[in-house]
Amino acid sequence: MSSIGAIFNTAKATYWKAHAPDEYHKVSFDPPIIIMCDYGGDMSGRRTQNGAQGVGTEIVIKETIWTEFSTAKKGDYIMIGESTELDPTGVDGADEIVHVIRYADTFDRQADDYAIMTGE
């Protein structure tokens, strides 16, 4: 962990990696991983572009989680706090990841930073 990350990433979150649906459309998950993070809720809207017509869909951001954890992807699940549940879809507070942004580790060049956003 970079020196800056060690100062700010003092909270814990639980992360579940999602797998593609099987032939019965059931999504499965890897066992949960506890990661260090910081977080905030800014409830901002974001419009994404789909195709040449510029038609977009609005995503309302529920939580933003800042971390050095680099493998989170859209469709995975995350929650603030710790959980040992194997299926996050029934866990209160666990939300689907809708967007991940990568930022450079400007000061130490040890580990990039990520903003993981959950939403509806």
pLDDT digits (tens, 9 = 90+) for 57-116: 677 788 999 999 999 999 999 999 999 999 999 999 999 999 999 998 777 777 889 999
Residue type, 29: F
Q: Reduce the secondary structure of 31-72 to three states and give it as a string.
A: CCEEEEEEEECCCCEEEEEECCCCEEEEEEEEEEEEECCCCC
CB atoms within 10 A of CB 31: 9
Looking at this protein, which amino acid is placed at residue 43?
M
Which stretch of 2-11, 38-47, 49-58, 67-76 has the lowest confidence by average pLDDT? 49-58
- What's the pLDDT tens digit per position in 65-82? 999 999 999 999 999 999
pLDDT computed for residue 100 by the predictor: 95
Mean pLDDT value across residues 18-23: 93
How many domains are there within the chain?
1
Q: Specify the pTM.
A: 0.81
Give the domain range for residue 8: 3-119
53 has pLDDT over 90: no
Q: Which residues contact 44 (CB under 8 A, 6 or more apart)?
A: 60, 61
Domain holding 38: CATH number? 2.40.10
